[in-house]
Every structure is written in structure tokens, then in C-alpha cells.
Chain A
Amino acid sequence: MAKYSWPEKPTLLGTPVKRLDGPDKVTGRARYTHDINRPGMIYGKIVRSPYPHAKVVSIDLSAAEKAPGVKATLAYMKPGDEVHYQGDPVAAVAADTEERARDAARLVRVRYDALPQVSSEAQAMAADGPKWSTTQPNTRAGQRAETGDLEAGFRQAGHIVEQTYSTHVITHVCLETHGAVCEWDGDKLTAWVSTQGVHQCAQGFAQALGIPQTNVRVITQYMGGGFGSKFAPDSQGIICAKLAKAAKAPVKLMLDRKEEHLDTGNRPSAFAKIRAGVSSGGKLTAFDGQSWGTGGAGAGSGFPLPYLYQFPNRRRVHTDVYINAGQQRAMRAPGHPQGCFLTEILMDELADRVKMDPVEFRIKNAPPLAPNAQWIKYFQEGAKRFGWDKRHATGDPTPGPIKTGMGVSAHLWGGAGRGSQAHVDLMSDGSVVVKCGTQDIGTGTRTLVAIVAAETFGLPVSAVKPEIGDTIYPFSGGSGGSTTAASVTPAIRTTSVNALDQLFAKVAPTLGVTPDQLAAEGGRVFVRGNNSKGLSWKDACKLIGTEPISVDGKWEDGLSSSGTSGVQFAEAEVDIETGVVRVKRILAMQDCGLIVDKLTAESQAYGGVIAAINFALFEDRILDRVTGQMVNPNMEWYLLAGMSDVPKIDIVLNNMPERGVIGIGEPPTVSTASAIANAVRNATGATIRSLPLHPHKVLAALEQERAGGTN
């Protein structure tokens, strides 16, 4: 038996535990980076390039320096530097009020030599088009893979579908924008940062500022959304620290909504020209895909393709395309929503060719059942729960303008744990403190830390004080890749188990037994099998003495694993006279190994689904085709679902305690958009092969369908 394991009969794990910081969040007591105010604090503002592509000729800070309230200015670029996107940081100011900082930033005189810009993938790929950079090419060869015998695969095909599919660029739109408050004490920096990784961020500050990492403390108690875009200090963090040093005062520098859209990452676009074959019996035979996409100015755009399903003979060739727009960053399941959409729409087209039900067709072509491959089970169970038997064939025959349809899609993710450290203190008064330098990015990590310790000590969750979100606590990694739960909870478990062993050692002589005979449950420490022979937790801890039990520990193998699967069903309604799509229902079948907190796990699934509805219907980074500037860097024309746009969402979590903990932050957002698009196709009979499902595309597809379809 492994040294560490999860309890066989847990009392807390897998139950719905309310978020410990819920009351603080809803009452406004929770202080996000935006809410941090320090004595003598001033405000920073970045001057950004309005041009998507230009050479900086000169930067004149003199007028800004003389502006009212200005305490510091800095040039971030120098003459001769090239800006590669609208919003590229060029200079910065700090002033005593936010308004004065904004006004002063406008007084910085930057002269640019505008260069031709590339605003779309098509422009970048055109033979004689403009160049995004004066030194680098517009495209670069990306992923390339080939398996099996493609020609043989197509020979076996009874039907071949050949189409181009695409997804668009969306931004992270973190409700709390990126930014920091930086305060120096000599050469020691304290930075309150809206970040997904306090330790990673501290390393970033140290490297960029040339100071030892031990001189940097990063604090993130509450974080208003990152979705993969908040790991490094970024330009705004470094500028904030430099302004604070120059002004000899704490500086707050939080980005505004426009900056957030322009310069804090996005999900790259994805295009693929796909030729795929299916046997007349409904088995996939071949897949040949040429894909491309843009991650903006110099960043890649890779994604998995084909996604999930078993094409025995396949080829995929990808090209990264660069344009003059903000760089992509990891965004909630990077690559997967794109690969999933491109494959899943194709799957429904192929299913129609062989006249098979989409669920049946998918079951036939999904990987075989395995702990990390539950799709077949979810297709079957989900279809029953969703009422899939009521689904009509492609094209709702109901008269009237409202057509209803159902769609399905599947996804996978990793979610493995990795190195994380923790520290536990048991005090002689019975109080328990658990410290871990992880951060709660809104996912419930703080609550998970308390649950695992409380479960181990046999205490209520409220008896444990979790301390996180600060680099003074033991190292833990950034919260990305759905790794946090699987990294942090094993570390808390092992450290708590070791602390409990020490307590047992102190208690055992009093009870006249050996430590290995003891158990801790229900607020008591007692002899296993003889519940009455024991002490209350409080009395047991009195035996600790003056020196607390203080234990360091770390993540160990065996308490977590990797690989999750999920299937989602969607019902959508299309008004064929307006092209407006409304999502009516979503069912998400999902696993994440051992569920730690049912409520926060479900909450991740709800959030993922809602975010994906935005991806499917609303969000779109729109660049003006003439100037290359973003026309909707706001929340007015960059559309996001409100409460009335969110459908009924059912989450069915498959608890698999034998697998240990696996992350769930990303997978539930992967397949929703594809399921919705397939529901729209089922409703209307018209296939929309690109996102978002904007009314103009829906109406165009319907028009095309009336004219005889696409093939």
C-alpha cells in the first residue's frame, strides 16, 4: 500500500461544501488587486501605440513631466523600435490621481512612422501582401503529423466530405483587468498582482528588474478571472514596479477595458481545409487537414486536429500565421475548443452522409472505454437524460419561423498534478493552519485546501485556517492547465497526514496505545475500533505542548492522475426570419477523478459552459480591415451573455475516487460551442462552418441551403 491515500469513506470529500470566501465576495469585503490601496499610493498609466505597425521615431516625455500631479515618467520603447500591434506599450507615467495619470499619458508625444499592417489571416497569406514585421516572415510551418496510409483510407471511404471550417479570435475579457500595485522598501518589492501564479510572477519580477527572487513578495488574495492570461508580471507589472521605484511611492496600475482587449492575450483563430472519408458502414477511414490560424504578432496558433475520434489514416499540416494584433495567450483549454469545433461539425456532416444518428456515429468512432476515456458511457447516458430520442433528423419540420434542434460533442483534457509544497501547523489550542503558496483564481482552491486538511484531521471545514495567495507560503505552481486541484490537494493531504502522525505520537502514550492504533474523526482522536477510548481534538492538542507541530510536505504521486473526458448535449432554437440563435438547454457529462468539493467542481462546469456559449454566439475581436485597429475594445460591442442569455444547464459529474484528484477548470468549456453549432444545424438543415453563429452567418447559410446546399 502506498504511503498516502485518500480515505475510503470520506465525510467531506465529494460533498457540496460552500466556498469559504463566498460571503466576503458577495459583501465586497474581499479585496481584489483593484481594491488594494497603500499609504501615499499614486497611479500609473501606459502610453500605447495607436498603430498596429509602426516604427517609433521619437518619444518626448517633457510635456507629461510638467503636467499636474505627475511623479514619474518612463520610456518603455526607444526610437527605432518597431510596434507590432495596436496597444503595444511605448511609455508610461505616474501621477497622484488616476485621472491626472490618464491626462498626462496623453501629453507624451510619440512620433511614429506608420508601416503597412496585416489585419487578417488572408492578408498575411497573400503572396504580395503587407508584412507584419520588417524582420520576420508572415507565416511559419507549425504542427505536422501523419499516421497510416491516407490513400488507402480514402479508397475505403464510401463518402467523402471536403469543407473548410473555422473559429475566430476571442479575448479573455477578465472581469478584473490585469494589473498590479507595487511598493518598494529599499530593494525589496511587494507586489499585489492579479495573477494566476504568485511564485511564477515573483520570478518574473526578479528577472525583469534584476533583483533576487527572495526580494520579491507577490500577493493575490482574490482574483477576478484570468483564464490563462495572467501568469507573468507582463509589461504592466514591470512598468508599475519601475514607476514605483522612480516615484519613490507605491503605484497602482490596473489596465482599462480597452487595454485588456488589446494587450492581455486572446484565443487564436483556427482554420482548416479538411477532406475526410467514412466507410458506408459508418467507420471513419481518413482525414487530411491543412490548418492555419493566427496568434497575433509573432505568436503560434497550434491546436489538436483531428480531435478525439479515431481516424486510422490521417495527415495534418499546420501553418502559424502572424498579423499585427495582440499576442495570443493560453485560454481555457488552449487549442481544444478550436480542434473540437473543426472536427465535431465535420462529424455531423459525415454522420448525415451515412444516415446515422450523431450519437451512434460517435460511439462507433470514439476511443474504447477506459478510465480516462468515458465518452461511450457519456454518449449513452447523456442521450437518455437529454431526451435525445426526441431529436428529429436534420432540419426541424415544424411550421413557423422557430426551428429547434439538438447537437452533441465530446472533449478531453489532462489536468495532472505536479510539484506543490505545503506547511501545516497544529497548535496546542487545537487550531490548525494550512499554508500553501497557491492562489484561488475563482475556482475554489482556498476551500479545497481547507476541505482536504479538515477531512484528514476529522474536523469541520471551519476548524481549518487556509493561508494561500502569497509567496511567503511554500511553493506551488501557477494555476494553469487545470493542474491546481491535482497539485495542491495531494500536498495538503501528505502534509496533514504527517502532522496527524506527530499528533498521534503525542497522544498515544496517554491512551496507552501505539500511534498506529489511532484515528481522527468527528472532532476526536481515538483508538480505532474503540471509539469511546479517546480525546476530543482540543484535549488531544493540549498534549502538543509549547512547540507547535509544524510540518512541511509536498505533492506525492498516487493521489492524483491525469486525463478526463466529457460529452455535452445542446438544444438550440433558431429564428429563421432573423437568424437569431438561442440556446435552450445544455447537459454536461464530465469527470474529474475524485471530486473534492462538489459545489466548486460543478461551478467550474457552469462557468465553462457559459464561457463557451459566449464563444459560440457572441464574442468576436473585430479589427477594422482598413486601419487594423480594433473597433470593439469594450463590453458594448464585444458581446457577452447576460443572465437572460444563459440557458438551463445540467451538470452530471462522474465521481471516480479511485483515480485520485484531476483538474476540471478547462474541459467543460471545450465542446459546448460545437454542440450548439450542431444543434443549429439540426434545427435548420443549414451548416454553419465558422464561429460565431452570428445572425448574418445563420441567414447566409439558410439562403445557401435554400439555393441547394453546399454539396
Chain B
Amino acid sequence: MKAFAYVNPATEKEAVAALKIDGIAMPLGGGQDLLARMKDYIDSPDRIVNVKGLDATVTATPDGGLKIGSAVKIVDLAENAQVAALYPAVVAAAGEVGTPQIRNQGTVAGNINQRPRCWYFRNEEFVCYKKGGSRCFAVNGENQYHAIFGNDGPSHIVHPSSLAVPFVAYGARFRVVGPNGEREVPAAEYFTMPTLQNVLKENVLDDEELLTHVILPAPGNVKHGHYEVRYKQSHDWPLAFATVVLMMSAANGTTGANGTSGNTIRSARVVLGAVAPVPWRSRPAEEALAGKPLSEATAALAGEAAVSEAKPMSGNVYKVQIAKTAVKRAVMRAAGIKTV
């Protein structure tokens, strides 16, 4: 491992300043991704900036939402009562991250910004697009865990973040600070589809910027569902997962203004994980749900619609079926229907 300097800033401002060097500086959260990349010679930063000292609190916002600090540990998110009450899919996703040890150590920003788990990216031998090379080895190689959506670009990774999916589904905004001040980016726009120009990164964060907060809007009259399909029950990456957030027409058991039942879906957000280079918002599934009663039949339709535009690779056609099931079961969970 290349020798590096370690900086321990006390404030956001100091942290941003520390990222600006002649060379490569990288922020350190829980370290489980960065240190492994360094040990495997995938990255060799000159300076590591510890950002675990940044905001690690969850606070209520004036509009009834929550603001989550980047340094909040994943375990604390998974066990937070406020988050559980307002955004149960976030709690579900947080509880499914890695292992207890990883959740105890990992941070919210670290989970969102971790690099792809693609086995070509993670093995030094394969100099792929994401490491400055000129090919994606998955195309002609072993792509059983790669993307089934968003495959038009040069890279076929699946985005590794479990938390990003519910954050996008709940319409979160990400607060970013940098040398030129701060900005807020909608979660859905934070993650970038790979192009030859931006393939070295998975999001809009500049090298000298930090993700400091996730700001979740008040959920409103919604029903939530989250479902993850993984092969192993213990430590494993999901084969596919989905968060659905359903804006209901009226409170349960009442009749809506225009005569619709309280069980009718007004609109929906359906976001899939582990299927595309970004958290994958499925418009066809959202359209299939809008205006429908919340039922198992609707759930099945949403599942079908979610994968209607899938473009699997040579070895991952099976993931289409799994993604379909994840969406169906996420909707069923939102409806309170028993899934397996």
C-alpha cells in the first residue's frame, strides 16, 4: 500500500480544505471500501481525510422531514425510531447492509459513495473503463451479477448502495459542500449513468466536494414497501431489490375527494437496486401503479411493467425474473400482503 497522510478535520470547512492537495485526497468514512481498495492497489491516495467527525445526527426539519448527517452509522439509521416512523424502507434497507460489523462501522455517506463491487473493477488484473482502461470486461465475460438496465453506456456495473434506492424513492435531496460553498442535489440526479466522459465516477460529486447530509421531505400520505432478493441469507450482495413509495389517494378506509377509495394509488415511485449503474427508477412500473387499487394483482402488474424494458446481458437474464419479483413483493409489502 502506498504511504499516505492522514488528516482529521474538525469541521466541514476544514474537511473540504483538506481534500484540496497536489495529488489525490480521499474522504474516509467507515473505511471498509476505501481501505480495501488501497490494500488491493485499486486506489493509492496521497492523503486520507477522516470525515467520521462530521454530522452524525438525525434531526427533524421544519417541513416534517428528516435531515441525516453523512457520518451517521448505518446501524444507527437502522435503529432510529424517527426514521422508522417516517421512512420504513430506509430502515429496511439499512438493516440489510452487509453484516452487523459493517453496519456498525459503515456510514451513510460511505454507503452512498462506495465504489462498484464489480469483480473486474475489484481485481487489479482487469484494467477496465473505471480504472482508466478501454473496455468493460463484463460485456464478453462473467456478467451474472451485472446490470440488466442502463446497459447502453460503456460500463455495466450495478450501483452498490443499498441506501441510495430508498433515498431516491422518497425524493431525498443530498447536501454537498465544496470549495465554492454548498449545493443541494436531488438524489435521483446525484447518481450518473456511465458515459465515456464520466465513467471513472458514479455520481456528480467533485473530487473536492463532500456529501454532508441526506434531506428527506415529509413523506405525506404514503405506503412503503421494500424487498431484497439475495442468494445467501448472511453477508451477501442483493441480486435485486426494490423500494416502492405509493402516494395514496386518501387515508386508509376513507373515501377520496373524487370518490376513489382510500386504497387507490394516486402516484408511485418505484426504484430498483442492484440492476443498473444507478438506482433505477422504473417509470413503467410507476405508470402501471398510478390510479390502481393497491392489491396483489396490481403488484404483479407493477412487477411485469418494471422489467418490460430490461436489457439483460449474456449471463444475467435470470435477474429480470428476480427484479420483477422484488418489485411485486415490495408493492405487496406496501399493501400489507404477506410475502415470503
Contact = CB atoms under 8 A, between A and B. Distances in A.
B324 to A, nearest CB: 8
Interface string A209-223: 000000000000000
Given A631-B123, A631-B142, A695-B322, A626 B137 contact: yes
Contact of A643 (B234, B316, B321, B322): B234
Interface residues of B, number: 37
A582 B125 contact: no
B236 A639 contact: yes
Interface stretch (A99-107, A126-134, A559-567): A99-107
Interface in B98-145: 99, 117, 119-120, 122-123, 125-126, 137, 140-142, 144-145
Contact of A642 (B123, B233, B316): B233
Nearest to A643: B234
A578 B234 contact: no
A696 B318 contact: yes
A4 interface: no
A401 interface: yes
A696 B144 contact: yes
Contacts of A643: 234
Interface stretch (A9-17, A316-324, A439-447, A617-625): A617-625
Given A102-B1, A103-B1, A625-B142, A642 B125 contact: no
B293 to A, nearest CB: 22
A627 B318 contact: no
Given A575-B340, A577-B321, A631-B123, A626 B141 contact: yes
Contact of A699 (B2, B233, B318): B318
Contacts of B2: 103
A618 B232 contact: yes
A629 B233 contact: no
A645 interface: yes
Contacts of A644: 232-234
Contacts of B26: none
Nearest to A696: B318
A618 B321 CA distance: 20
B229 A622 contact: no
A629 B232 contact: no
Contact of B141 (A625, A632, A633, A636): A625
B219 to A, nearest CB: 28
A581 B232 CA distance: 9
Contacts of A636: 117, 122, 237
Given A631-B142, A636-B117, A641 B234 contact: yes
Interface string A598-639: 000000000000000000011000101111010111101101
Given A102-B1, A642-B235, A700-B318, A627 B125 contact: yes
Given A579-B318, A626-B141, A696-B318, A639 B232 contact: yes
Given A627-B126, A631-B120, A637-B119, A580 B231 contact: yes
Nearest to B41: A106
Interface in B319-339: 321-322, 324-325, 328
A618 B234 CA distance: 12
Contacts of B229: 578, 580
B187 interface: no
Contact of B232 (A401, A626, A641): A641
B97 interface: no
Nearest to B340: A402
B239 A695 contact: yes
Interface in B256-306: none
A694 interface: yes
Interface string A629-666: 10111101101011111000000000000000000000
Contacts of B117: 636-637
B125 A629 contact: yes
B123 A633 contact: yes
Contacts of B119: 631-632, 637
A353 B120 CA distance: 45
A694 B122 CA distance: 22
A579 B321 contact: yes
A645 B141 CA distance: 29
A50 interface: yes
Interface in A386-428: 400-402
Contacts of A700: 318
Q: Which one of B231, B239, B315 has the highest number of Cβ atoms from chain A below 10 Å of its Cβ? A: B231
B141 A694 contact: no
A145 to B, nearest CB: 36
Interface in A651-703: 694-696, 699-700
Contact of B340 (A86, A401, A694, A696): A401
Nearest to A700: B318
B83 to A, nearest CB: 24
Given A624-B126, A625-B142, A696-B144, 20 more contacts: A86-B125, A400-B340, A402-B340, A578-B325, A624-B142, A627-B125, A627-B137, A629-B125, A631-B119, A631-B123, A632-B119, A637-B145, A642-B232, A642-B233, A645-B233, A695-B239, A696-B316, A696-B318, A699-B321, A699-B322
22 contacts: A99-B1, A103-B1, A401-B325, A402-B340, A577-B324, A577-B325, A578-B229, A625-B140, A626-B137, A627-B137, A631-B119, A637-B119, A639-B236, A641-B234, A642-B233, A644-B233, A645-B232, A695-B318, A696-B144, A696-B316, A696-B318, A699-B318
Q: Which 3 A-B pairs have the closest CB atoms?
A: A642-B234, A644-B233, A696-B318
Interface of A: 50, 86, 99, 102-103, 106, 400-402, 575, 577-580, 582, 617-618, 622, 624-627, 629, 631-634, 636-637, 639, 641-645, 694-696, 699-700
Interface of B: 1-2, 41, 99, 117, 119-120, 122-123, 125-126, 137, 140-142, 144-145, 229-237, 239, 315-318, 321-322, 324-325, 328, 340
